[in-house]
Structures are given as C-alpha cells and as structure tokens.
Structure 1
Amino acid sequence: MNDQLWKALDEVIANEVVPHAQVVDLQGVFPSKAMEALGDAGVLGATVPKDAGGAGLGLAEAATIVELLSRACGSTAMVTMMHFAAVPILVAHGPRDIVGQIAAGRHLSTLAFSEAGSRSHFWAPVGTASPAGEGRVALNARKSWVTSAGNADSYVWSSRALAADGPMTLWFVPAATAGVSISGGFDGLGLRGNGSRPVRAENAVVGPTAMLGADGQGLDLAMQLTLPWFLVLNAAFSVGLAEAAVREAIGHVTGARLEHLGQRLVDQPLVRNDIGRMRLRTDAARAVLHDTVAAVESGREDAGLRVLEVKAIAAETAIEVTDLAMKTCGGAAFRKDLGIERRFRDARAARVMAPTTDHLTDFVARESCGMPLLDGA
C-alpha cells in the first residue's frame, strides 16, 4: 500500500472510526460517516485494479485494512470486509461505470447470498430468476441478514439459475431497484452497527446486463472470486478483534493495582498466564492468516485448504481470546468504557456467518480426504 493511502487510513481510523465506535455499538447505527471518509480516502477503491482507477491493492493489503479497522470498530470493519468481498466479482463481470464509481470511493457494495429458505447454506439459493421480457429478468427472494442493507448502493445477488442447469446465478442489483425492500431492523448481540437486515425482492426487474458471469455458473464464480476474499478477510476481522482485546486487557492489568498487596494486577501469575495465552492464540491465528494469504498469492498447492481453514481458526480464536479478556479483567471488563465486552460480543458473529465454523470444519475434512466439498458435487 502506498504511504499516502496508509496515512489516510490511519487518519480516518483516528478521527472517524475510534471516536464513534461506542456510539455505533450502543445505538446500533450504521457508521455512515466512517464509510464516507473511507471512500474519500481511497480505501473503498483500494482493491480495484489501477487500470480501472483504483489503487490495485491485493488480498494481503485488504486483510491489513480490515484488521486495523476491526481493532477500532467491528461494525465498520464488517461493512468494509463485505464490500471488499463483492469487489472481485464486480471487477471481473460488473458494469464498467460501477467499477469506476467503486474506484472513486463513491459506491458501496455487499453480498446478498444467504436466504431465509436455505439459511447458512449459501450455495443452495431458493430465490428465483425468471424472464421478464426484452431480455430483462425478475428476481424473487427473501434474503436474510444482508450486511449494509439499506445503506449499500448495490448487492451482489444470488438466485437459482435462469435457464441453465447450474445451481446458482449471480446478479448485480442496484439497491434502488423497484421491488427490492428492506424488512425490519437489527438489534443484535454484536456488530450492532453493521446494518444487517433482511432484504426482499418481489418481481424486482433487472436489465439484460445485470447477470454476473454465465447463467448457472454463479457458484463456481463465487468459489473462485468471492469466497477466498470473504474467508480471508473474515479471518482478518477476527484477528483484529482478538488483538484489540489483548491490548485492552494488557492496558488494564498493567494499570490496575491491588493496593493491599502493593502490586499491579499483572504481578499476579494467574493474570500473566491468561495474558500469555491470549497473546499466543492471537499471534498463532495471525500467522495462519499471513500464511493463507501467501498461499493464495503464490498459487501454492495447499491454498484451497488454507482458505477453508483460516476463517474457522480465526473465529474460534477471537471467541477464546475475548472470553479470556473478560475473565482476566474481571468486573471492569463488563463496563462499556473498557471496550472488551464490545469485542466479546462482536467476536461471536464470525462463528455463525456462512460458511459457519461447523461447515468449514466439515469442508476441511472433505478436502483432506479427497471428497467433494458439497454433496452431489
């Protein structure tokens, strides 16, 4: 990443993300100002190729961006992560003018894969696409818990195939498309500002150029272009939360005192043991994250396996580390001002985001045993 973009990112985090992180969480409000600032700073267009007007950054730099944002605000990091996960498919198959807007930081996108009917089985959409005349297509679906719903400018949308035999087709769906509506709000345990809400399409008509790639090939495209970015960046999100919890816990135990003993909390062996375990787990997860990025970028033979592993490893690490931070810091960690309980809540999300930790564990076993990842594949 060039120095100017690094500096701009640091300024946005310091001036917009950190000061508003607690309000975003407490009030459950979308971090609009932070996302606008990230767009102005060139961060939202960072992964668009240079020849399309972006910074041309790769997976490694995107992971660093997401981790740094996650240390400050999980909701802002998740919104950015989902945008980055949508960008590769849009760069490869989306409208050129939209790619230009993304590069300029003027267009926020997100994924709309999971559905009420198939839940975390994102690879099995039940939403449909049907001809609507003059090459247009009508989409009908009940999407569940779409990040940035009502705030994103577009959705990378999945449906059953229009006419082909494949399991899925992908579409570029502008958020303002008639028939697309947001239902309900989000009052969740964690990531309270990520705007995750159900999205419904009722005869939402898109134009002939809305199809991303070939009809029926959406699952293959998602597995090749979207899923690696989603899984790796989700891991970076979890590592960022764990790192924040470690730093906050260290700050507390090195500053708080047991006056009757004339000691700091960190002078207690049991406290140091917990801090050490937190540091070990966080650093180990980050090492797996960096190795996964290296495997993907070099085309290493084990890249596919690493991609399947990394989100599960990092998600479970963040849960363990934030739990230890709550234990280590005791009653102080239950207060909002320390920030640990927010990370504790935010960390629970990655485990259940599709593909869930349980599904990824099964995928890792299947890959290791030479079996197809999905039944019937």
Structure 2
Amino acid sequence: MTYEKDLARIVEDIVAPRAASVDADGAFPLAAVEELASAGILGLTVPAQYGGGGLGLAAGADVVRTLSQACSSTAMVVTMHYAATAALAAAGREDALREIAEGRHLSTLAFSETGSRSHFWAPLSTAAAEGDEVVLSAAKSWVTSAHHADSYVWSSRPLAAEGPMSLWFVRKGTAGLGSPASFDGLGLRGNDSSPVTGEGVRVARKDLLGEDGTGLDTALTAVLPWFLLLNASAGVGLMESVTAATVEHLTATRLRHLDQSLAQQLPSRAKVARMRIETDRTRALVEDTVAAVEAGRPDAQLLVLEVKAAADEAAALVTDTAMTVCGGAAFRKELPIERRFRDSRAARVMAPTTDALLDFVGRALCGLPLLDA
C-alpha cells in the first residue's frame, strides 16, 4: 500500500494550514483525522487479513514524523490510534479492525488513572462479572482523543486471574462513560487529552482483549513498542520543523547596522548546527530501533526503552536552543517556534515518563526485572 502522496497532500492542504489555530483554540484536528481515515492512513497498520494496509512500525513512524513536522497534536492523535490498533490486532478484534481499515473508526488508549497516575502498569480500575456481562469502573486521568475516539483500549484489574491487568474494548457511547473536562494545556493543545470516567460501564465478556490477567503482557510486548517509537518519531518531526524554522529566520533576518544576516553571526550558526546534529542523531536512533524491532534483533528491547527518553530530551534541547537563537521573535506567534517549544514539554511527563524509562533502561542493563513484583 502506498500512502506517501496522500499523506503529503493532507499535510499540505489541511494539517499545516490549521496547525496554529488548532493550538490557539485548543481544537481537535477533526478535518485532518477524517481525511487521514478516508485515505486509509488510519488503517495503514491494520493487518491485511482485516482489510488494512498491513504495514508495520516503519510506516507508522514515518506517518507520525511527517504529521509532527506540521502539527504535534495531530501526530499525537495518530500515535495513540496506532498504539491502540496494535492492541486490537494482538487480540484479533476483527470488528474494530475492519472498521478502522474502512476509515470508520478512531481508537485510543485509556491506561493512565487518577489513582496510579503515570504508573500505567498498576491500574486501580475494576472489572466485575455479572452474568454474561462485565461491569467496569474507573477514573482515567489522561485519554487522548477522549471526546472523539470511537473506542478505548481500557485497562483494569483482572476479573479473577492472577496478574496486574486486563484489557477491554470499550466503545464510545457505552452507558456509564463520562468525560467531564476539556483539555486546556500548555502544549499539544488540540489532542483532546482529557479524563474519562466509568461508572458501571457494562461490556460483554467477549470485549476482553486476550486472556484475563494478561493485559500487562500485551501492553509491554504489543503496545509499548508502538507507543514509545511513535512518540520518539513525533519528537524527530518536531525537531526537524523547529530546525528548519530557525534556519529560515536566521537567513531572512538582518542586522542592518552591520549589513549582515543573523546567519552570518558565528554563535548563531554554531547553535543551529548543534540543533541539526541532535535532530539527525535522534532520527538515526529511531530508525535503528525500528529496524531492530522489525528484524527481531537482540538489542531491540533495550533500544525501545531508550528511544522515547532520548527523543524527549533531544526535543527539549533543540527547542530550548531555537528560543535562544531566534531571540525575542521566538517568543511571539509570528514564528512557530514557541508553539513547538510548548509541544516539546509534554512528552517527558507522558507515561512512561522519562524518569520511569531511565529506570527501566538501568534495570535492563543491570539484569533486574523492569517492574517490581
């Protein structure tokens, strides 16, 4: 399946022209999402047996990086959709996968909770059997596309089995679901990341994704690689955009008293060079991690744990530098740099946070389990 031309058209015609207003208004990028669905890009990673594009991490990372060059909010919506799709594919949830492939379904993850916050691996939400149904109750803290997704991949404590987590397929509009708040954040302002509550949400037993109690295994093996790699890819796209905007500002802006552009000043050139090096280094890490996962290399798990932490820190550094290099102009809306600076701050506190990932990497290096028993 080829998607590059459609993706480029959507970015040029819809995503890029609306990025500033999505940010300013905190508006969900609905037009872009609908066009991505119609073009088959939301179904790109659905297995071919369910009518999807049958493509893997490399394609998903490319889509997210390209979107993020224009709009981080749109990139995050697609990141969470692809991560949820990975969970649905692992469980063979045919009805949802076919709807996604047909451009009729946007999904997302509902993992983080008010009680356990960024510790997504320790849900406090409950699942209780009542006849042929299961009753779910939860206070989810941050759910991307909360008001716009057609389904949630929902975590809870197991029904009866051992293990920390089970996963469920919960459709939008199920009785008992609520999302009382709208998102008004510093960055990623259009991604509609809001709390979702569940009070007596009734689902069928067949809505269990996989076996009871095995949700953490699915989250770590099927979902987490997609989530971490696509977040890192979004960071790369953001860095590419900010670096290009900085170069454009330096070359177009002049110091009239010296009859020189800002680009002719050595400190500015040196800083933008560091931005480019950091961007290229991070993109190389992301691409190597994708290759490691797709080839089943022995170093794949460690690289997956490293990649989001590395990209998040790099994006913060690059945007910090851009704000300094471009001076007062970067603090105003005339340049996209302040918007991307704000967007870059979100990833480091998005579960798993940078601190958690550094701990995971250290544990892996020292031969310790990633999570305490």
Tell me, yes or no, if the aligned pair for 1:132 and 1:205 is still in contact at 8 Å.
no
Which residue of 243, 255, 267 corresponds with 2:252?
255
Give the partner amino acid of 1:216. G
Matches within 5 A, 1:196-345: 196-345=193-342
Displacement of 1:30 in angstroms is: 0.4
Aligned to 2:101: 103
Aligned to 1:17: 15
Which residue of 186, 190, 195 corresponds with 1:193?
190
In structure 1, what is the Cα distance between the partners aligned to 2:365 and 2:323?
A: 35
In structure 1, what is the Cα distance between the partners aligned to 2:69 and 2:90?
A: 31
Aligned to 1:350: 347
Aligned to 1:163: 160
Displacement of 1:91 in angstroms is: 1.7
Aligned to 1:136: 133
Aligned to 2:32: 34
Tell me, yes or no, if the aligned pair for 1:152 and 1:175 is still in contact at 8 Å.
yes
Aligned to 1:117: 115
In structure 1, what is the Cα distance between the partners aligned to 2:322 and 2:104?
A: 38
Tell me, yes or no, if the aligned pair for 1:70 and 1:240 is still in contact at 8 Å.
yes
In structure 2, what is the Cα distance between the partners aligned to 1:336 and 1:74?
A: 16
- Aligned pairs, number: 373
Displacement of 1:95 in angstroms is: 3.2
1:124-175 CA distance string (max 9 Å, x none): 0000000122x21000000001000010000000000100011000000001
- Give the structure-2-normalised TM-score: 0.99
In structure 2, what is the Cα distance between the partners aligned to 1:85 and 1:97?
A: 17
Question: CA RMSD, aligned part only?
Answer: 0.8
Partner SS state of residue 46, structure 1:
coil
Corresponding position: 1:43 with 2:41: yes
Aligned to 2:86: 88
Greater Cα shift, 117-126 or 180-189: 180-189
In structure 2, what is the Cα distance between the partners aligned to 1:356 and 1:50?
A: 33
Give the partner amino acid of 1:274. K
Partner SS state of residue 11, structure 1:
helix
- After the TM superposition, which parts of structure 1 deviate over 6 Å for at least 4 consecutive aligned residues? none
Aligned to 2:61: 63
- Give the structure-1-normalised TM-score: 0.98
In structure 1, what is the Cα distance between the partners aligned to 2:253 and 2:129?
A: 66
In structure 2, what is the Cα distance between the partners aligned to 1:89 and 1:197?
A: 21
- Percent of pairs identical after alignment? 59
Greater Cα shift, 199-208 or 328-337: 328-337
Alignment gaps of 5+ in structure 1: none
Partner SS state of residue 326, structure 2:
helix
Partner SS state of residue 312, structure 1:
helix
